[in-house]
């Protein structure tokens, strides 16, 4: 009896957090089906992603961020993603000697309240090969600035991923030419989907994965239209069409 109760509580919470993270849609209609290796849905309470076996990385990673997600915990425990079939996993040493860092999509600090939660961000399916300057400086600054907005009374819906191909690591992992991020910023509240309008604050960037990418991410604004064109995905598909259209053509931040 107790087991059943525990399971139903756990399953319920899993369903709720999964729904919260895909409120703005499943950009590639990813499904959990091993016959769909380049668009394979991986769901965990901390974030959701579409895995691309051919690239050895995610197509996109989606999560929701509130101030209650941010704590003091970090422990580097990189590992192959246990939620992927074994043969598809990239190991913790998969980028070794490539010159590229293991760069988080969903940041460690965005899931830093407990060891168990933080640990999930270190699965290799949440990593992309990023240059040091991209990962530690430009991308890192955007992560910090997003958390600062959230600490000022906002919540955020975030999609991150990379695209393009400038080489392969051990013929297993594709090195991307750009990494993109879409951040929808709302004042903390309820009924989020209904509160998003064409005036909602958004941050959209596409940052070149180079040694010389500008430290200030504002120097590389993009529009969601541009990212959809580059990736073939459809973001914000659950919004009313007029709102989706207006947000997607906006260069954000404005150049």
Total binding residues toward Mn ion, as defined by CB under 5 A: 3
Q: Which of 163, 158, 159, 174 is nearest to 232 (CA)?
A: 163
Nearer to Mn ion, 65 or 236 (CB): 236
Q: Minimal CB distance to Mn ion: which residue? A: 234
Within positions 221 to 250, which residues make up the interface with Mn ion, using CB under 5 A? Answer: 234-236
Nearer to Mn ion, 136 or 226 (CB): 226
Q: ω before 253 within 30° of 0 (cis)? A: yes
Nearer to Mn ion, 93 or 238 (CB): 238
Nearer to Mn ion, 113 or 237 (CB): 237
57 DSSP β-pair partners: 52
Catalytic residue among 44, 53, 104, 134: 104
Active site residue 64: no
Q: What is the 3-state composition of the chain as percent helix, strand, coil, each rounded to the nearest 5? A: 35, 25, 40
Tell me the closest approach of the beta carbon of residue 248 to Mn ion, in angstroms. 6
Tell me the closest approach of the beta carbon of residue 184 to Mn ion, in angstroms. 12
Do the Cβ atoms of 30 and 59 come closer than 8 Å?
yes
Contacts of 176 (CB under 8 A, 6+ apart): 57, 128, 129, 162, 163, 164, 165, 166, 209
Instruction: Name the residues annotated as catalytic.
Output: 104
Name the residues that contact Mn ion, by CB under 5 A: 234-236
């Amino acid at each position: 009896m107790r087991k059943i109760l525990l399971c139903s509580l756990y399953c319920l919470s899993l369903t709720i957090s999964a729904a919260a993270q895909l409120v703005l849609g499943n950009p590639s209609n990813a499904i959990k089906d091993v016959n769909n290796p380049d668009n394979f849905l991986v769901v965990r309470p901390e974030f959701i992603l579409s895995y691309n076996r051919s690239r050895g990385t995610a197509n996109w990673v989606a999560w929701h961020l509130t101030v209650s997600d941010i704590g003091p915990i970090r422990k580097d425990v990189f590992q192959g993603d246990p939620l992927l079939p074994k043969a598809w996993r990239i190991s913790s040493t998969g980028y070794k000697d490539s010159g590229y860092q293991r760069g988080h999509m969903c940041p460690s600090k965005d899931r830093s309240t407990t060891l168990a939660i933080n640990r999930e961000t270190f699965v290799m399916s949440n990593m992309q090969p990023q240059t040091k300057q991209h990962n530690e400086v430009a991308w890192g600054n955007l992560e910090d600035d997003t958390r600062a907005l959230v600490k000022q009374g906002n919540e955020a819906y975030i999609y991150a991923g990379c695209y393009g191909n400038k080489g392969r690591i051990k013929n297993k992992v594709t090195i991307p030419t750009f990494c993109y991020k879409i951040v929808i910023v709302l004042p903390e509240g309820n009924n989020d989907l209904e509160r998003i309008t064409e005036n909602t604050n958004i941050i959209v960037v596409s940052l070149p994965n180079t040694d010389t990418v500008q430290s200030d991410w504002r120097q590389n604004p993009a529009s969601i239209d541009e990212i959809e064109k580059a990736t073939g995905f459809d973001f914000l598909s659950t919004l009313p069409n007029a709102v989706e259209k207006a947000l997607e053509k906006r260069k954000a931040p404005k150049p």
